[in-house]
Amino acid sequence: MMKAYCSNPFACHRRSTREVVVGKVGIGGTNPIRVQSMLTCDTMDTAACVQQTLDLVKVGCEIVRITAPTVKDAANLKNIKSELLAAGCDVPLVADIHFKPDAALEAAKWVEKVRVNPGNFADKKKFDVREYTDAEYVEELARIEEAFLPLIKICKERKVAIRIGTNHGSLSDRIMNRYGDTPNGMVESALEFARIARKYGFHNFLFSMKASNPKVMVNAYRLLVARLNQEGADWNYPLHLGVTEAGEGEDGRIKSAIGIGSLLKDGLGDTIRVSLTEDSIHEIPVARSLVDYARIMEREKPIANLALSFDPFVYARRNSLPVGIGGVELGGGNPARVFSTREIYSILKPRFEALGDTAPEVVYEDSGVVEVDLQDEEQIRKLNHTDDPVVVTVKDGTALNPITAFRALAAKVHPRHPILLKDTFVPDEPVDMMQCLLSSAAHIGALLCDGLGDAILIRQEKSPGASIRLGFNILQAAGNRIFKTDYVACPSCGRTLFDLQSTTARIKEATLHLKGVKIAVMGCIVNGPGEMADADFGYVGGAPGKINLYVGKKPVKFNIPETEAVERLVDLIRENGKWVDAPEKAA
């Protein structure tokens, strides 16, 4: 039987872990949640790397990651470290390694931590289909041990930490063939490397389970912790949290808040990185706000003696029955509906034609939604004996975090009743702009990832247009309702072969009207083919100034000059029958 993934899903108790030491910074144990980021410049540009690092530290970054794609890049980490120390900066550096074990060995001489990706450290990804016998699989594990052992030895000798960082988009063919493109495959990929480290007495490591899909990410981390608990008390290694390829702007912040905030609510996470397709310094305030959010949740009074109504390891939507409200049907497998207050509905009504698919659909005050007092057992008993489904929500003024409260509602009320999710139970409480965006996304997005919620109501954001846009953006980021083009865009780093920010902007300008089309924008091939597995089209850096275009995970156009690549992407979308002309813009 699978062990629990947290002490109480109706509270926020931080998971107890051993401490992993990264230079002067402790991760896990009794340490606070650490905030980190990654450089976007070329690793061979020492001056730029030093300046970006100093800029990050100035805004509160505690650990800085730098890509080391080759042995030559890894060797230059010595110069970067030396220059930083000369400037009085001893922030721990992390070398990000993909494909090159030799680069990892060189980097371990100069940095405080090495990140390895189990999917490509000793494996190749060609999307080959192959059945492995048990004996053949054991042989593969022996080959991986041979490749990984030298790094373990130098890290043990130099007291360098390791992050075993699984990415959903770069699972090896070997893992994919045995476990599939699943959270279980992600977990097993990481545990293979952890078992090797433990075999040789190395314990200064931590895990990450990153994905661009928040549902996959959340399920993978929960499954990992449950598996660690199953292995034994001394498998209490810390966790690094992050949503990879989150994107930019409001969308990137929302997706990060859903994935990271959801796990922080469960007490999981010892260090975080918010991955935005923006300059790295913009990631730190977002991460800091999420850490503050976790501190607030830890003060919450827990609910005892309740069982979850959903499987925390496998996403499945709650099986409610349909209910019609004013011509709008919700529940019963319908997409989640967006409610608004009467005031906001009235303000926006003259703009409904322009808003199109993103207009509010139901007025909260006129909906007949039943507000449930979670302490009123008689009210809950009557609801559970009501044969006809009714839309239910949690009563305003409830002194619980919305995630806790709605999990409790789902546990107490029969699943035939659809649930309206609220981002707050104190709508008049003032909240600053950043905290409003992140907490609304975390509250509602986490519950959507749990499979709960047939409608949503945003009230922390007071601006009428912004509140409705936020609601629809949360639904899209959680994969619950697609109303616009969906972009998967990686953050920039030293591997990136083109300017991600300007390129993403050009791609959006050309394709933003393609509702329901998913486009991946990847600076290099590290995660590209894997993260594009569920994208319709991919735009990937293949060489300096050259772009490869994909349909799904299959490359179809190669070495296109960057200057014409966006136009060729549009042509590819046309060829595959996904193109429609943009509507005429209103005056």
Return the structure tokens found at 52.
């970006």
Residue 498 confidence (pLDDT):
73
Residue 587 clears pLDDT 50, i.e. is over it: no
Count of beta carbons in the 10 Å neighbourhood of residue 165? 26
Q: Is residue 248 part of a domain?
A: yes
The answer to whether residues 217 and 287 belong to one domain is: yes
Is the model more confident about 34 or about 487? 34
Residue 586 confidence (pLDDT):
46
Residue 542 confidence (pLDDT):
79
The answer to whether residues 278 and 336 belong to one domain is: no
Q: Is residue 6 part of a domain?
A: no
Q: What DSSP assignment string belongs to 295-337?
A: HHHHTSPPP-S---SS-TTS-----PPPEEETTEEESTTPPPE
Residue 306 confidence (pLDDT):
93
The distance in angstroms from the start CA to the end CA of the chain is 62
Q: Is residue 10 part of a domain?
A: no
Question: pTM of the predicted model, to two decimals?
Answer: 0.90
Q: Which ranges in 413-527 belong to alpha helices (H)? A: 433-449, 464-477, 500-511
Strands 518-522 and 25-28: unpaired
- d(Cα 446, Cα 294) in Å, to the nearest integer? 14
Is the model more confident about 389 or about 357? 389
Residue 492 confidence (pLDDT):
59
Number of domains in the chain: 3
Model confidence at 163, pLDDT cuts 50, 70, 90, reads: very high
Closest CA to 495 of 37, 94, 44, 35: 44
Residue 396 confidence (pLDDT):
97
The answer to whether residues 466 and 492 belong to one domain is: no
Look up the CATH number of the domain holding residue 164.
3.20.20.20
The answer to whether residues 452 and 528 belong to one domain is: no
Q: Is residue 309 part of a domain?
A: no
Mean pLDDT across the chain, nearest whole number? 92
Residue 197 clears pLDDT 70, i.e. is over it: yes
Q: Is residue 558 part of a domain?
A: yes
- d(Cα 248, Cα 236) in Å, to the nearest integer? 33
Residue 528 clears pLDDT 60, i.e. is over it: no
The answer to whether residues 465 and 561 belong to one domain is: no
- d(Cα 514, Cα 518) in Å, to the nearest integer? 9
Q: Is residue 358 part of a domain?
A: yes
The answer to whether residues 267 and 388 belong to one domain is: no
Residue at a domain's end among 298, 333, 367: 298
Closest CA to 323 of 306, 309, 310, 336: 336
pLDDT tens for 459-469 read: 999 999 999 99
The answer to whether residues 196 and 330 belong to one domain is: no
The answer to whether residues 190 and 125 belong to one domain is: yes
pLDDT tens for 536-564 read: 898 888 778 888 898 987 888 888 888 88
DSSP category for residue 544: T
pLDDT tens for 231-278 read: 999 999 999 999 987 777 888 999 999 999 999 999 999 999 999 888
Full domain range(s) for residue 507: 486-575
Residue 2 confidence (pLDDT):
66
Please, are residues 471 and 358 in contact by the beta-carbon 8 Å criterion? no
- Cβ-in-10-Å burial (0-12, 13-18, 19+) of 58 comes to exposed
Model confidence at 488, pLDDT cuts 50, 70, 90, reads: confident
- Cβ-in-10-Å burial (0-12, 13-18, 19+) of 385 comes to exposed
Q: Is residue 490 part of a domain?
A: yes
The answer to whether residues 241 and 386 belong to one domain is: no
Please, are residues 406 and 394 in contact by the beta-carbon 8 Å criterion? yes
Residue 453 gets the label, from left (phi > 0), alpha (psi -120 to 50) or beta, of left
Residue at a domain's end among 477, 494, 525: 477
pLDDT tens for 446-457 read: 999 999 999 999
Residue at a domain's end among 283, 298, 313: 298
Residue 523 confidence (pLDDT):
73
Mean pLDDT lowest among 188-192, 284-288, 531-535:
531-535
pLDDT tens for 330-385 read: 999 999 999 999 999 999 999 998 888 899 999 999 999 999 999 999 999 999 99
Count of beta carbons in the 10 Å neighbourhood of residue 460? 21
pLDDT tens for 115-124 read: 999 998 987 6
- Cβ-in-10-Å burial (0-12, 13-18, 19+) of 501 comes to middle
CA distances for 427 relative to 397, 424, 467, angstroms = 9, 6, 12
Q: Is residue 5 part of a domain?
A: no
The answer to whether residues 471 and 492 belong to one domain is: no
The answer to whether residues 464 and 507 belong to one domain is: no
The answer to whether residues 238 and 279 belong to one domain is: yes
- d(Cα 187, Cα 182) in Å, to the nearest integer? 9
Residue 370 confidence (pLDDT):
98
CA 381 to chain centre: 38
Residue 491 clears pLDDT 60, i.e. is over it: yes
Residue 190 contacts by C-beta under 8 Å, 6 or more apart in sequence?
118, 164, 166, 207, 209, 224
State the residue for tokens 């619980």: 400
CA 316 to chain centre: 18
Look up the CATH number of the domain holding residue 504.
3.30.413.10
Mean pLDDT lowest among 266-270, 377-381, 431-435, 474-478:
431-435
Q: Cα 577–552–249 angle (5° rounding)?
A: 95
- d(Cα 90, Cα 455) in Å, to the nearest integer? 49
